[in-house]
Amino acid sequence: MKLLQGFKVNITENYWSLAFLNVQNFSRNFALMMNDTLIKFHILPFSSEANDKLLILGIFLIIYVTGIFLNSVVVAVICLDVHLHSPMYVFFCNLSSIDICYTTAVIPKLIYILLSGDDLLSVTQCFTQTYFYIICASAEDTLLFVMGFDRYVAICHPLSYHRILNKKICILIMVTIWIAATLNASLFLYFLLKMPFCGVASVQNFFCDAMDIFNASCGGSCEFMILFYANLVVFGFFPVFCNVLSYVNIVRVISRLKSKEGRRKTFSTCSSHLIVMTIYYSTSSITYLASFSDHTEIMKQILSAFYVTVVPMINPLIYSLRNNEMIKSCRKLIKMK
């Protein structure tokens, strides 16, 4: 009995000492965010050498300006044309809005680093960038899943489409997406604040990604890794699995159509989403798999750059060029101007 009591006492003491340490780390890092002069994050974009900085700067500047312009056009066209106020185009509009925030959270700071050569970020700057990046990434993952469900209902249950996806349901879906994304980012920020950092921490990326911050800490927590793997399931595997099931049913419905023209038109309504979903999930999967492999840091950053900056730029091109309604609306608005 004495041994058992002693064992219980040791467990209790270890538990409370661990809890106290976590609270201490959280309080310390939160205080550093309020007065963030002690800890700095050293961003290492692509290479420490300055030979190719102008070329990299020019590439990212073009990507950013092009992406912002194209996504803004999509948002403007859908908002101004009443005929495009259907669930599918509302989701398109929100995807473009997310992509604008996505690239804005990353590229302007990278351009500043390349121009000024000042690659030291404070705790507040680094964690703020991570927070908004996770919000956009989580929202885009979930929205692509919802857009797949939208195409499934439109093709497999066309008579019930406006009943299932009415205006109230669409608003509720979008509000839920943003709340879930914000809560997810807040959880990541909470666990990052609990981690201890020593002086200048080197982030092997061109922006403050949560996983890179975790690797740069003096002692990461297993809670963070649990959250990371949970995100891979909830925002990665689950949406992909559900979208695959949706497209299996969509292909079955399309294959039953007797007319080749009918099959082509029906498939064209979901081809844009299928292309965007394939590019986004494949590049993001390769990026995160590369973070656990033996690839060089530059290769990982190139994969991250394509996933974070190039994909949001090409999304509006895919939707615009493959959608006759969008093209007609653009021409109509240009003529009106």
Helices (H), 157-259: 161-164, 167-193, 210-216, 222-232, 238-256
Cα–Cα distance measured from residue 168 to residue 67, given in angstroms and rounded to the nearest whole number:
30
User: pLDDT digits over 148-193, tens only?
Assistant: 999 899 888 888 888 888 889 999 999 999 999 999 999 999 998 8
Beta bridge mates, 201? 41
DSSP code of 81? -
Tell me the HSE value of 68 on the side-chain side, using a 13 A CA sphere. Answer: 12
Q: Is 117 left (phi over 0), alpha (psi -120 to 50) or beta?
A: left
**3-state DSSP percent of the chain in helix, strand and coil, to 5:** 80, 5, 15
Cβ count near 187 (within 10 Å): 16
The pLDDT of residue 291? 61
User: pLDDT digits over 39-80, tens only?
Assistant: 778 777 765 555 677 788 888 899 999 999 999 989 988 888
User: pLDDT digits over 210-249, tens only?
Assistant: 888 888 887 767 888 888 889 988 888 898 899 989 888 8
